[in-house]
Amino acid sequence: MTAAETARNRAAFDRFHDATNSGSYDVIEKMIDEVVAPDAVFHAPVPMEASGPQALKQVWTVLLRAFPDLRVTAEDVLADGDKIVCRNTVTGTHGGEYRGMPATGKPVSYGEIFILRFAGGRVAEIWGVVDVLTQLRQLGALAA
């Protein structure tokens, strides 16, 4: 992979990351359509039957409904060849239904790590690890 291809992948990642912090599902959906390949594989423990871009869109539908002020802060972003790894801190206020829980108004802050593999300038695979345990404890769904 050339330095130019790595830079192109990083630019696509940055555009996507900026969209996720827009608070607008329409902006995020448009960016998913532009940046994520139609046959992308999404390796993450998400409770849904969709795959690829549709799975990612469903994830964002759930997240923005539950946490309308959701912010994703990239703490570390590493780009190497066709992969980008990002370690994020996610914050928001529980303002809507989430995992069967009605809104609590409680703030959340949790970590996540994603690895994205690019092919042809688009995301071809995503691996994700999200600290759902911390998230659910902060919402009062699990004992601390």
pLDDT at site 109 = 98
Across 92-109, average pLDDT: 96
Q: Is the pLDDT of residue 85 over 80?
A: yes
Q: Is the pLDDT of residue 5 over 80?
A: yes
How far apart are the C-alpha atoms of 3 and 1, rounded to whole Å?
7
pLDDT at site 42 = 87
**Percent of the chain at pLDDT exceeding 70:** 97
Coil, strand or helix at 24: coil
Computed over every residue of the chain, the mean pLDDT equals: 93
67 token code pair: 């946490």
| HEC readout, 38-81 | EEEEEECCCCCCCCHHHHHHHHHHHHHHHCCCCEEEEEEEEEEC
Residues 6+ apart with CB under 8 A from 115: 83, 84, 85, 126, 127, 128
Q: Does domain 3-138 have CATH number 3.30.420.40?
A: no
56 token code pair: 């990612």
Q: Is the pLDDT of residue 114 over 70?
A: yes
**Percent of the chain at pLDDT exceeding 90:** 80
pLDDT tens digit sequence for 25-83? 999 999 999 999 999 998 876 656 777 899 899 999 999 999 999 999 999 999 998 99
CB 117 within 8 A of CB 83: yes
Residues 6+ apart with CB under 8 A from 90: 70, 71, 72, 73, 108, 109, 110, 111, 112, 130
